[in-house]
Amino acid sequence: MPKVYTGDLTKLFDISGKKAVIFGGAGGFGEAIAEGYAANGCSVCISSRSEEKLKEATAKIEAKAAPGVKVMYLAGDAGDEEFVKKAVEIVTGPEGLGGCDILVNTQGINKKMFSWEIDTEYFEKMLHTNITSLMLTCKYFGNWMKDHNLEPGEAYAEPESGKPTPNHGYGKIINFGSVRGIRIVGNGGMGNVGYNTTKGAVEMLTKAYAADLRPNIQVNAIGPNITYTPMMVGLLPPDEQTRNNIAAALPAQRIGYEIDVVGPAIFLASAASDMVTATTIYPDGGLVATS
pLDDT of residue 188: 82
pLDDT per residue as tens digits for the range 23-34: 999 999 999 999
With beta carbons less than 8 A apart as the criterion, state whether 220 and 210 touch. Answer: yes
Query: Average pLDDT of 158-164?
Result: 91
What is the rounded (10 degree) CA torsion for 193, 194, 195, 201?
Answer: 100
Q: Which tops the pLDDT comparison, 185 or 215?
A: 215
pLDDT of residue 63: 98
Q: Residue 144 and residue 138: Cα distance in Å, rounded? A: 9
pLDDT of residue 105: 98
Query: Average pLDDT of 142-165?
Result: 94
Q: Residue 31 and residue 48: Cα distance in Å, rounded? A: 11
Residues 6+ positions from 209 with CB-CB distance below 8 Å:
138, 142, 173, 219
DSSP calls for 176-219 = E--GGGT---TTTGGGBHHHHHHHHHHHHHHHHHHHHTTTTEEE
Domain residue ranges in the chain: 9-281
Pick the CATH number of 9-281 from 3.90.1580.10, 3.40.50.720, 3.40.250.10, 1.10.287.610: 3.40.50.720
| Order of strands across the sheet that contains 280-281 | 71-75, 43-48, 19-23, 102-105, 171-176, 217-222, 280-281
pLDDT of residue 1: 80
DSSP calls for 10-42 = GGTT--TT-EEEEETTTSHHHHHHHHHHHHTT-
pLDDT of residue 107: 97
pLDDT of residue 177: 97
Q: Residue 22 and residue 57: Cα distance in Å, rounded? A: 12
With beta carbons less than 8 A apart as the criterion, state whether 190 and 112 touch. Answer: yes
pLDDT per residue as tens digits for the range 46-76: 999 999 999 999 999 999 999 999 999 999 9
